[in-house]
Structure 1
């Protein structure tokens, strides 16, 4: 399925820091709410990936479910990632996600992302 391939390409692009690929995958009116609660538009999202604060070492999707209705598709599941900060420290995150895609001009493009952190059990 095309959305499944887009999801896999998105995960690879995040881990590789491939800003051109990510920019092409999202719409101009993209909204991104990350698992830490930051709200960003397309430019802010790409700037966060490009940031000198660090880089993603790994980004993996888990349990993705995809549903399509006409020109809209939604994907929900979970992900885990590993981020290396500029100071060398590692941050591992596990979160749930919801992404919305819209079919326009012959392509599926992501217009909304919401992540929700899954806190470690105490």
Structure 2
């Protein structure tokens, strides 16, 4: 009978996803990874999926979609504080560019690395 070990599974996930995701240099110069959906731990995954639904929904107001985009970038970021400060300082058009690039590069099954 096989025994699964949390530490081994966590190490395997870390190794599999290390270096993957969209690279982003924050306002403070810190390098951040915008992680792929499958690399997110439980709470971040739930948050990201809910926000992704809002971003893609045509049934919500533009203001709510913009807030969801900001929240999504923070949820998938390896450094949430630096990402929040950066996205808050960007004009909407550039923030949307970051979201679009992340969706192209880091969505499940679509990114090559």
TM-score by length of 1: 0.26
Q: Which one has the bigger strand percentage?
A: 1
Higher relative contact order (CA 8 A, sep 6+): 2
> Could you say which structure has the higher helix fraction?
2
Q: Give TM-score scaled by structure 2 length.
A: 0.27
Q: State which structure, 1 or 2, has the greater radius of gyration over its C-alpha atoms.
A: 2
